Structure 1
Amino acid sequence: MGKKDSNKITKVMLNKHRIEYFVFIIFGKLLTIFGFHSIKSTSKILAFLFFHIFKIRRQIVLNNLTIAFPKLTSSEINKLAYKNYKSIATTFLEIFSYKKLTKEDMKNIFSNKNFHIILEKYNENKGLIILTAHFGNWEYGAVATGLHLNLGINVLVKRQKNPYVAKWLNGFREQYDNVQINLGVSVRELYKTITDKKIVGIVGDQRGKRDGIKVNFFGQTTRTFPGTAAIAIKTQCPVLVMFCARQNDGNYEAIIEEINHLEFQGTKEEKIQQFNQKYMSILEKSIRKYPEQWFWMHNIWKY
């Protein structure tokens, strides 16, 4: 391929990304035109469209819920699935609306009663990993944690293909001294961040590869990635699992539990399996309490 052909492809991709970004921004502005307090009603409209009309990943959601909650009737599964679409729509509308919130607004929608647990572990001066999941509003959780503790969180995220959308998301994620680390960064750099006594936030509920770490999740086997567990075990830093659960009034409460991996026994591989199983068990417990708030669109039991 010649240089001219390469430049032409690059130009086409940039134009495509600009169009996608334009649609992204216009769509977001239209949906949030009436402000933060219109989110509840707008989320119902989006849930109806994506669940009943466009049926985006609907069958995966229904299948997952049927596996996780076998005692529910078909009608109950459908009602729960619709609530899940509404919760996901609420999360994304909140993200689109972030510029309408002041620093105090962001702090006030999060109860601070459990954040002292994070501060206590951070003050051990060993670095800290906060493991979260696609639960409630995980994006707001990272921002609110940094705000309440007055500490910058180093958030590990997947790099966006569209550079314009990525820049917009970066503006949201890097508010109030938070720092974004792109997924794919070298293990050495991530290791250094922790050994420098900093806080790293990681979303840990993605399905692993076919040969990944086996764990039990809602009575079924799934696969998980070994990376976070391996780094935690190597650095011996404390690890907290934190989920941001949406309450009936639209505010959030942080659910926080420690993974005390120093108690795990066996080989390195066995410790990693125990670590991942503990994380997934904590996640399952929170999902059972707030079943509509997890991202059931993951094909979590593919393997």
Structure 2
Amino acid sequence: MSLAIRTLRLFQAAAKPGWRGRAVAAFLNGLLRLFSPRKRRIEANLSLVHPEKDRAWRTDMRRRLYGHLAWTVTELLALQRDPSQALHWVESVEGGHHMEALQAPGRGALFVSAHLGNWELLAAWYAQFRRAAERPSPYVVSQEIHDREISDLVREYRERSGIGLLPKGISTLEFVRLLKEGAHIALLADISWLGGVRLPFMGHDCTNTTGPAVLSLLASVPIVPVGIYRTAPFRHTIRFFPPLPVPEERDRRRRAELLTLEVNRALEKMIAPRPELWFWMHNRWKN
């Protein structure tokens, strides 16, 4: 077992709401500030999207991002004691009627979100919500992390929370079959892709997968954007947005591209109120 895994296991034993959680988050935040991971990438992304802001603002945003990530890890570790805590840590749900409309048995749905807020808690909360309502567990589209031990640990945490995992590489037909059978599938749609189509995101072109749009169109299920926002440690608000409109376009490829553009616009609206909660460390705008 690597040092990183042993350290996370140690923190997991200590992390819980209260002074222990604050101590773990403070330690993690201190490490992030000391080593400043992906500092240049964060600075470059912030400068690209917010050219009107000065260096002091970007530095403050980076430090706030590190603090947010420290609390995200702390909350995830604390959640392992009892995944049902997610139901209590989410204090309010906005736009809940969009979600409730999808709870009928056999009705599939595709949820899209971003690396915003505590996105792992969002998935755990929905899994616990579905379990309490005696509904099938939702699925999350997962991608293997290069570090095998970290990847296994994340998988363990997700499965303990009641989340079903779908490897990113499974066939489109299998995704469509699950959706048509009533599965609820969630994915994070704010990362760059090899290939795909170039569309604007936050005012600048980048590569995007049309995967969510294609699945929605083939399975005839809605795409529902959803985001989570931390209001305080272990206190969150979830917001469900209206299902995305299907473009009136006869050409199937063009229709998928236009629906993908709607996904990007929804993510922009999701991130805009709390940009410090978004994962600016990712190389979203690759040349």
TM-score (normalizing by structure 1) = 0.84
Partner of 2:32: 50
Contact 2:138 2:164 in 1 (8 A): yes
Partner of 2:65: 84
Contact 2:216 2:222 in 1 (8 A): yes
Partner of 1:174: 159
Query: Which 10-residue stretch deviates more, 135-144 or 112-121?
Result: 112-121
Contact 1:32 1:39 in 2 (8 A): no
Amino acid at match of 2:91: S
Query: Which 10-residue stretch deviates more, 233-242 or 161-170?
Result: 161-170
**5+ long unaligned stretches in structure 2:** none
Match for residue 269 of structure 1 among 222, 245, 253: 253
Partner of 2:213: 229
Query: Which 10-residue stretch deviates more, 262-271 or 235-244?
Result: 262-271
Structure of higher CA gyration radius:
1
Task: Measure how far apart 1:296 and its partner are.
Answer: 0.5
Contact 2:11 2:24 in 1 (8 A): no
Aligned CA RMSD, in angstroms, stands at 2.3
Amino acid at match of 1:208: W
Amino acid at match of 1:269: R
Task: Measure how far apart 1:191 and its partner are.
Answer: 1.3
Q: Using the alignment, how far apart are the partners of 1:95 and 1:177 within structure 2? A: 14
Corresponding residue SS for 2:212: helix
Amino acid at match of 1:252: H
Amino acid at match of 1:110: V
Partner of 1:106: 86
Going from structure 1 to structure 2, the CA distance change for 1:285 and 1:129 (only over 3 Å counts) comes to: same
Going from structure 1 to structure 2, the CA distance change for 1:44 and 1:286 (only over 3 Å counts) comes to: farther
Partner of 1:198: 183
Task: Measure how far apart 1:223 and its partner are.
Answer: 1.1
**1:230-264 deviation digits (Å, cap 9, x = unpaired):** 11111110111111111135411112113434344
**1:142-197 deviation digits (Å, cap 9, x = unpaired):** 11012223331011111245555444323321235431111211222111110111
Task: Measure how far apart 1:139 and its partner are.
Answer: 0.9
Going from structure 1 to structure 2, the CA distance change for 1:133 and 1:118 (only over 3 Å counts) comes to: same
Going from structure 1 to structure 2, the CA distance change for 1:175 and 1:116 (only over 3 Å counts) comes to: farther
Contact 2:142 2:165 in 1 (8 A): yes
Q: Does 1 or 2 have the higher relative contact order (CA < 8 Å, sep 6+)?
A: 2
Going from structure 1 to structure 2, the CA distance change for 1:80 and 1:31 (only over 3 Å counts) comes to: farther
Task: Measure how far apart 1:26 and its partner are.
Answer: 2.6
**1:3-48 deviation digits (Å, cap 9, x = unpaired):** xxxxxxxxxxxxxxxx33x531333424762533333454344334
Q: Using the alignment, how far apart are the partners of 2:41 and 2:149 within structure 1? A: 30
Amino acid at match of 1:171: E
Please say if 1:238 is aligned against 2:222: yes
What pairs up with 1:86-235 in 2 under 5 angstroms? 86-101=67-82, 103=84, 105-114=85-94, 115-123=96-104, 125-150=106-131, 151=135, 152-161=137-146, 164-175=149-160, 177-209=162-194, 211-235=195-219
Contact 1:65 1:81 in 2 (8 A): no
Task: Measure how far apart 1:265 and its partner are.
Answer: 2.2
**5+ long unaligned stretches in structure 1:** 1-18
- Greater fraction helix: 1
Corresponding residue SS for 1:155: strand
Query: Which 10-residue stretch deviates more, 273-282 or 160-169?
Result: 160-169
Contact 2:111 2:226 in 1 (8 A): yes
Aligned residues: 281
Going from structure 1 to structure 2, the CA distance change for 1:34 and 1:113 (only over 3 Å counts) comes to: closer
Partner of 2:41: 60
**1:64-102 deviation digits (Å, cap 9, x = unpaired):** 111122222110111011101111121122222222335
Query: Which 10-residue stretch deviates more, 184-193 or 156-165?
Result: 156-165
Corresponding residue SS for 2:200: strand
Q: Using the alignment, how far apart are the partners of 1:287 and 1:235 within structure 2? A: 28
Going from structure 1 to structure 2, the CA distance change for 1:253 and 1:189 (only over 3 Å counts) comes to: same
Query: Which 10-residue stretch deviates more, 214-223 or 114-123?
Result: 114-123
TM-score (normalizing by structure 2) = 0.88
Amino acid at match of 1:225: T
Partner of 1:283: 267
